[in-house]
């Protein structure tokens, strides 16, 4: 129980009396003077701290008038207060159990104890360089050993307030300062650190976006490269949009005529895919063409969809794609960035239609992003000249977009980047 200051000091009897000039003068002690003249304010101790601590280093003295320095008390250094006294300067001073004196300054000295406690059940994420403590009380705490890692999610069960900080408890582990935890998923910060440290190279562009938090990370994500078959993604998005608007149906047929491979922006029919390389005047169902474009990266199938449904990349098509990616994605030059590809893939994800399903279980799942990742991946690859790309949705508990563009690199590098990012966001 705290010792109250007024009980420690001598009471004073105030009364008017007539005294003879022959009587001895009435002399008050320092304690009596303090009680008589001092006003209790927010800067006055009214009790002795039961567990004293200091906010910052403070000097101690050999005498109550604080003229002879003895030593310095530091933060979280254990000390005990024996009593309170008043010195000749009418100051409160604490007498310590080692016989030294300390100015009773509320701006420096505090009672280190839990002021408020609240039980809770919440998931939080650890910040970089977090510290785990054995106790929330400053002069009773030590650094706790832990296997927890930065950016990891943890469950907290209690929040306490002390004079110096707010702490959160992890049952069976220890206590964290509130400044060492994030209320929101912060793993994207770990992704950014990874990319900066390992993949900040001129020939690599990476864009990552957590779909739940909408947070992004990247390196060279705005760098324009030849996007190759990744440029089929805007076509697939637009086709799904027209299906959703009921302008076309999946079972509708499109005729394979010569003009299909001979408009500005069309791919060479001699490229990848199993559809015939020359026009045969047959009608091919839209769902079949979507599958061939998504799963085989079929050039002729993509041309058929683009010729009829985008109207050979007309102004309306460009306007809608530009609104999504923030700039024009030229279907002829096929110049784009990892971020542009990631943004169109996100738009396809939100459509949640036939196209998105077709981008899973492709002929390219044994390479690049999908090669090692043990969860479903919807993705679109692109290869041409020295360019190797892949962009996809990775279906972890919190799905994310991963778009990787490379120049003069290889499939293994793309897989390595994907594996590293997955380990942080899985």
- How confident is the model at residue 17, as a pLDDT? 39
CATH 2.30.30.170 in the chain, residue ranges: 116-182
| Bridge partner list, 416 | none
Does domain 116-182 match CATH 2.30.30.170? yes
CATH 3.40.710.10 in the chain, residue ranges: 188-425
- How confident is the model at residue 270, as a pLDDT? 85
CA distances from 212 to 175, 404, 425 (A): 28, 20, 12
- How confident is the model at residue 44, as a pLDDT? 78
Q: Could you tell me how many residues make up the chain?
A: 426
- How confident is the model at residue 9, as a pLDDT? 39
d(CA 294, CA 230): 10
- How confident is the model at residue 271, as a pLDDT? 81
Rounded to the nearest 10 degrees, how much is the dihedral formed by the CA atoms of 420, 423, 425, 426?
140
The CATH class for the domain spanning 188-425 reads alpha beta
- How confident is the model at residue 37, as a pLDDT? 55
- How confident is the model at residue 35, as a pLDDT? 53
- How confident is the model at residue 42, as a pLDDT? 57
- How confident is the model at residue 30, as a pLDDT? 59
CB-based contacts of 167, cutoff 8 Å, min separation 6: 133, 136, 159, 160, 175, 176, 177, 178
Check: CB of residue 138 under 8 Å from CB of residue 110.
no
- How confident is the model at residue 243, as a pLDDT? 98
d(CA 77, CA 338): 54
Task: Please choose, from the candidates 108, 103, 165, the residue with its C-alpha nearest in 3D space to the C-alpha of residue 138.
Answer: 165
- How confident is the model at residue 269, as a pLDDT? 87
Rounded to two decimals, the pTM is 0.83
- How confident is the model at residue 38, as a pLDDT? 53
Distance, CA of 74 to chain centre: 35
Task: Please choose, from the candidates 268, 300, 271, the residue with its C-alpha nearest in 3D space to the C-alpha of residue 284.
Answer: 300
- How confident is the model at residue 290, as a pLDDT? 98
Task: Please choose, from the candidates 54, 40, 52, 48, the residue with its C-alpha nearest in 3D space to the C-alpha of residue 1.
Answer: 48
Rounded to the nearest 10 degrees, how much is the dihedral formed by the CA atoms of 113, 118, 120, 122?
-60
User: What is the residue-level pLDDT of the chain in tens, covering all 426 positions?
Assistant: 333 444 343 333 333 334 443 444 444 455 555 554 555 555 678 899 999 999 999 999 999 999 999 999 999 999 999 999 999 999 999 999 999 999 999 999 999 999 999 999 999 999 999 999 999 999 999 999 999 999 999 999 999 999 999 999 999 999 999 999 999 999 999 999 999 999 999 999 999 999 999 999 999 999 999 999 999 999 999 999 999 999 999 999 999 999 999 999 999 988 888 999 999 999 999 999 999 999 999 999 999 999 999 999 999 999 999 999 999 999 999 999 999 999 999 999 999 999 999 999 999 999 999 999 999 999 999 999 999 999 999 999 999 999 999 999 999 999 999 999 999 999
- How confident is the model at residue 14, as a pLDDT? 35
Task: Please choose, from the candidates 245, 244, 208, 206, the residue with its C-alpha nearest in 3D space to the C-alpha of residue 223.
Answer: 206
What is the SS3 assignment for 361? coil
Task: Please choose, from the candidates 98, 101, 92, 108, the residue with its C-alpha nearest in 3D space to the C-alpha of residue 40.
Answer: 92
Task: Please choose, from the candidates 238, 284, 292, the residue with its C-alpha nearest in 3D space to the C-alpha of residue 265.
Answer: 238
């Amino acid at each position: 129980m705290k010792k109250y200051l007024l009980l420690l000091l001598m009471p004073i009897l105030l009364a008017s009396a007539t005294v003879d000039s022959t009587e001895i003068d009435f002399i008050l002690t320092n304690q009596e003077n303090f009680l008589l003249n001092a006003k209790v304010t927010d800067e006055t101790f009214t009790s002795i701290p039961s567990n004293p601590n200091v906010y910052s280093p403070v000097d101690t003295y050999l005498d109550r008038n604080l003229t002879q320095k003895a030593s310095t008390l530091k933060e979280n250094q254990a000390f005990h207060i024996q009593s309170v006294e008043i010195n000749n300067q009418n100051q409160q001073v604490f007498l310590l159990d080692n016989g030294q004196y300390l100015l009773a300054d509320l701006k420096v000295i505090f009672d280190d104890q839990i002021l408020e406690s609240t039980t809770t059940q919440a998931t939080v994420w650890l910040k970089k360089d977090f510290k785990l403590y054995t106790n929330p009380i400053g002069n009773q705490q030590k650094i706790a050993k832990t296997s927890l890692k930065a950016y990891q999610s943890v469950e907290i069960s209690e929040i306490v307030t002390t004079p110096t900080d707010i702490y959160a408890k992890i049952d069976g582990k220890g206590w964290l300062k509130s400044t060492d935890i994030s209320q929101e998923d912060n793993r994207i910060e770990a992704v950014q650190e990874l990319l900066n440290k390992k993949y900040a190279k001129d020939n690599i562009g990476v864009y990552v976006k957590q779909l739940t938090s909408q947070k992004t990370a990247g390196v060279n994500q705005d760098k324009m490269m030849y996007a190759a078959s990744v440029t089929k993604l805007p076509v697939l998005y637009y086709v799904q949009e027209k299906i959703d608007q009921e302008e076309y149906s999946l079972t509708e047929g499109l005729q394979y005529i010569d003009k299909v491979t001979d408009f500005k922006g069309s791919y060479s029919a001699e490229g990848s895919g199993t559809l015939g390389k020359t026009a045969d005047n047959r009608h091919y169902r839209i769902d079949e063409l979507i599958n061939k474009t998504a799963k085989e990266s079929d050039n002729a199938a993509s041309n058929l969809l683009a010729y009829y449904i985008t109207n050979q990349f007309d102004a309306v098509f460009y306007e809608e794609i530009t609104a999504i990616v923030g700039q024009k994605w030229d279907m002829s030059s096929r110049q784009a960035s990892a971020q542009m590809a990631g943004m169109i893939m996100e738009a396809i994800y939100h459509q949640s239609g036939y196209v998105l399903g077709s981008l899973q279980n492709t002929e390219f799942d044994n390479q690049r992003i999908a090669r090692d990742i043990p969860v479903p991946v919807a993705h679109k690859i692109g290869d041409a000249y020295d360019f190797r790309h892949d962009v996809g949705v990775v279906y972890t508990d919190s799905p994310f977009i991963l778009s990787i563009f490379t120049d003069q690199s290889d499939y293994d590098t793309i897989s390595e980047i994907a594996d590293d990012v997955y380990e942080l966001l899985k």
